[in-house]
Structure 1
Amino acid sequence: MSALEPDAVDALLLDEAPAEIASAAVFDAPALVPALLERTDDVRVFCDDFRDASAVPHDVLAEHPDELGGAAVAMARLPKSLGALDEMAVSSLGADDVMFLGGARDRHMNKSMNSVLERYFTAVNASLGRQKSRVLRAWGPVAEAESEWPKLRAYDEHGFTLAAHGATFGGTKIDAGTQFLLESLDVEGDEILDFGCGNGSLSLWLAARGKRVAAVDVSWAAIAGTQIGAAASDLDVATRWADGTASFPEHSFDAIVTNPPFHRGTAKDSDATLALFDDARRLLRPGGELWCVYNSHLPWRRELNARLGRTRVVAQNRQYTVAVSVAP
């Protein structure tokens, strides 16, 4: 489905919104934009996912969620992450009469979402369900509510500080899979690519050890968090908000490290990871290595052998596997 093709959640959000809107803020819901532009010429849109942002007209696209405050109506696809919802909610504040509308499939909603919205609004309720979808409605902004994003956490033992926006994978923690990879990581060469960098744990660990690191992620919150963490750590990491690795020249890297994504929002999606496996041969210099940590039940060793080259397992437990593939 195209990012601009409305589904049942989008349709319900549009029906819940007023027919006449003075101004609208849209979070992670690009399919709402064409219909909202028919109701008002004052629409601002923020999308964390580069693929969603690329589908939105440039003149309505915001570069930071903070730019969406002050609209009469804020509309969002409810994210899986409660931190992401928290940042959406606080970023939507500004107008005394603002209404926040967040939609999702019933199976992806929970009471904790209500609790998050209650930090910033005095009234929260839910719409009736339709086509297994529902909308949370919030209004009456809490006076003097302030954003706590981004958050920072120092890891003196590793030589860096992690930073996170609400949607940053891992928050300010070192993900368990990433920690397992770090325990085995022994990359050669100086030019390293961190694919799907998340909060930048791998990038900053490598940069603190003198490597020249490029970090790429499809998530704005990942890239922003990595940039803030690098600045707070006095480290250099070249970041790129992008869908995949096609924009990097061939044979750019001595090694690639990745704790790769296998979800897009609430849906399982391994396309980006498999695309990296396919592109790694182009990106790596001859003999370069791809270090990958993944859930042990996934068939990534077979895929790496087929798509890149000789692959060996260097560490494994019941939950995670660390594999190293060598480019021909």
Structure 2
Amino acid sequence: MPEFPYSRLRRWPDVEADNLQAYDATDVLLVERALALGFPGEEIAVIGDEYGAITLALTDAGLRGIRVHQDLATGRRALARNAAEQGLGGSVSGYPDEDAEPRGVGGGHAAAGPDRLGSPTPFVAHELDGDLLTGARLVLLQLPKSLAELEEIADAVARWAAPDAVLVAGGRVKHMTLGQNEVLGRSFGRVQAERAERKSRLVVASEPLPAPTEPPFPVTAEHDGLTLVAHGGAFAGSRLDIGTRVLLEVLGVAPEALRQAQGPRGGWVAEPVEAAGDGGWVAELVEASRTVIDLGCGTGALAASWALAHPDARVIATDRSAAAAASARATAAANGLAGRITVTHDDAGSELADASADVVLLNPPFHLGTSVHTGAATRLFEAAARLLRPGGELFTVFNSSLGYRAELTRIVGATEQLHRTSKFTVTRSIRR
């Protein structure tokens, strides 16, 4: 059998650059181990397959019925595109939305049309749930960055997979920690790290332990009147991260600045924030009754705070992480906002209409996976420019060392600094 052409895989629609690949040695090691173990495809689940390298290499080797979960919308679309270009299952546009008609098997989304070897369903996409894992005897995992995300995944495998299931997890040695072994040990009776190979390492977890009655995630935390709910893969968990808090304070909608309103609509309103000169605190920067998008929403802290402060606003929260989108939905519900905040799982708001927003709120990441790369923020700046109507406002918080002001001006429009500390800068950009 010819070797699978890993080098032909692409990251698209994620950021592409010479130093960013669509696969690594860990993918190859996981594929080699799966083929050596000889499980049929129907008994294999793949989690964290960033751009489809594991799933497609196994499919190319003749396995069918593989179940796959990817957290990121970009990864789901890359898998679809790579599958189509390799002739391994046609197009998979993504997983079904929460309210969409279920497709594929068990609520998942099967590959559309036969692959080049004639199989109608070479792999089936699922969320992180029982449909993904029930009956699975081999689970392949690209280790996530977050220990919380790993804990949620390990619990799910022990909870739903077969009693004799084996979890083979892998990662680049430089990013692996003993803490990962400890987390796996909470859900498995045996955890064995193997020798490093090609700068990657596999960890084999077996003998699943009885799962607790209640899963460890999502978790909930209170923040001065704002409730945050978080799944393991959501950035900052149930904490209110510092950058978000700074942006909320500048906008006058931080949790501690809110007081409950007793008007006919209920909800919350903002206490006034003292205005100052350039670079100081500002108040009432934007009108309340407008369409506001929390772009890259995480747990939905910005969206929920804005909706609580402005009962008449139309608020949309969107994130490319399924864990984040699920967390934002739960945050909205926990704050009595389920009917007022629309949450979408999407790549940089690509399914939202052009020029549909009056305001965009943004706390952009500066990592792509484990790589520090400004491309992630640039894509969101470009998305904000597309989503905003002319004259619309983008409020951004970022690490002061990154100096994004010139780029925001170039991509979006005239940008002013509203607040700056040694750690964070808040800017306001007007869509040209």
Range with greater deviation from structure 2 (121-130 or 246-255): 246-255
Task: Tell me what 1:107 maps to.
Answer: 174
Task: Tell me what 1:63 maps to.
Answer: 127
Out of 71, 77, 87, the residue aligned to residue 48 of structure 1 is 71
Range with greater deviation from structure 2 (77-86 or 308-317): 308-317
> Could you list the per-position Cα deviations for residues 166-187 of structure 1 after superposition, in whole angstroms to 9, with x for gaps in the alignment?
1011111111110111110144
Task: Tell me what 2:150 maps to.
Answer: 85
Distance 2:392 2:182 in 1: 48
Distance 1:97 1:6 in 2: 29
- CA drift of 1:144 comes to 3.5
Distance 2:285 2:320 in 1: 24
Distance 1:249 1:314 in 2: 28
AA aligned opposite 2:44 = A
SS of alignment partner, residue 67 of structure 1: helix
1:1-328 to 2 correspondence within 5 Å?
2-3=10-11, 6-17=23-34, 18-22=36-40, 23-29=43-49, 30-37=52-59, 38=61, 40-54=63-77, 55-56=79-80, 57=92, 58-59=109-110, 60-70=124-134, 71-93=136-158, 94-146=161-213, 147-155=215-223, 157-158=224-225, 160-185=226-251, 186-189=284-287, 190-209=290-309, 210=311, 211-235=313-337, 236-328=340-432
Retained in 1: the 8 A contact 2:227–2:331?
A: yes
- CA drift of 1:231 comes to 1.3
The structure-2 alpha-carbon separation of the partners of 1:181 and 1:270, relative to structure 1 and needing over 3 Å to count, comes to same
> Could you list the per-position Cα deviations for residues 140-175 of structure 1 after superposition, in whole angstroms to 9, with x for gaps in the alignment?
1112445211112233x33x3211111011111111
Distance 1:315 1:213 in 2: 24
> Could you list the per-position Cα deviations for residues 192-211 of structure 1 after superposition, in whole angstroms to 9, with x for gaps in the alignment?
01111011100100111222
Range with greater deviation from structure 2 (197-206 or 210-219): 210-219
Where structure 2 has 5 or more consecutive residues not aligned to the other structure, the ranges are: 1-8, 12-20, 81-91, 93-108, 111-123, 252-283
SS of alignment partner, residue 402 of structure 2: coil
SS of alignment partner, residue 384 of structure 2: helix
Distance 1:172 1:132 in 2: 33
Where structure 1 has 5 or more consecutive residues not aligned to the other structure, the ranges are: none
- CA drift of 1:87 comes to 1.2
The structure-2 alpha-carbon separation of the partners of 1:132 and 1:238, relative to structure 1 and needing over 3 Å to count, comes to same
SS of alignment partner, residue 251 of structure 1: coil
Retained in 2: the 8 A contact 1:72–1:99?
A: yes
Using structure 2 for the length normalisation, give the TM-score.
0.72
Retained in 1: the 8 A contact 2:296–2:362?
A: yes
Distance 2:217 2:32 in 1: 31
Range with greater deviation from structure 2 (207-216 or 10-19): 10-19
Distance 2:230 2:335 in 1: 14
Distance 1:260 1:144 in 2: 36
Distance 2:206 2:386 in 1: 51
SS of alignment partner, residue 154 of structure 2: helix
SS of alignment partner, residue 232 of structure 2: coil
SS of alignment partner, residue 183 of structure 1: helix
Range with greater deviation from structure 2 (9-18 or 192-201): 9-18
SS of alignment partner, residue 221 of structure 1: helix
Distance 1:304 1:6 in 2: 31
* Aligned positions, number: 326
Task: Tell me what 2:261 maps to.
Answer: none
- CA drift of 1:223 comes to 0.5
Distance 2:315 2:366 in 1: 23
AA aligned opposite 2:48 = D
The structure-2 alpha-carbon separation of the partners of 1:131 and 1:81, relative to structure 1 and needing over 3 Å to count, comes to same
Distance 1:298 1:92 in 2: 39
Distance 1:83 1:66 in 2: 19
Q: Which one has a bigger Cα radius of gyration?
A: 2
Distance 1:43 1:139 in 2: 20
Retained in 2: the 8 A contact 1:46–1:65?
A: no
> Could you list the per-position Cα deviations for residues 106-132 of structure 1 after superposition, in whole angstroms to 9, with x for gaps in the alignment?
000000000000000011111211110
Task: Tell me what 2:270 maps to.
Answer: none
- CA drift of 1:320 comes to 0.7
Q: CA RMSD in A?
A: 1.9
- CA drift of 1:313 comes to 1.1
AA aligned opposite 2:10 = S
Distance 2:10 2:129 in 1: 23
AA aligned opposite 2:406 = R
Retained in 1: the 8 A contact 2:145–2:370?
A: yes
SS of alignment partner, residue 182 of structure 1: helix
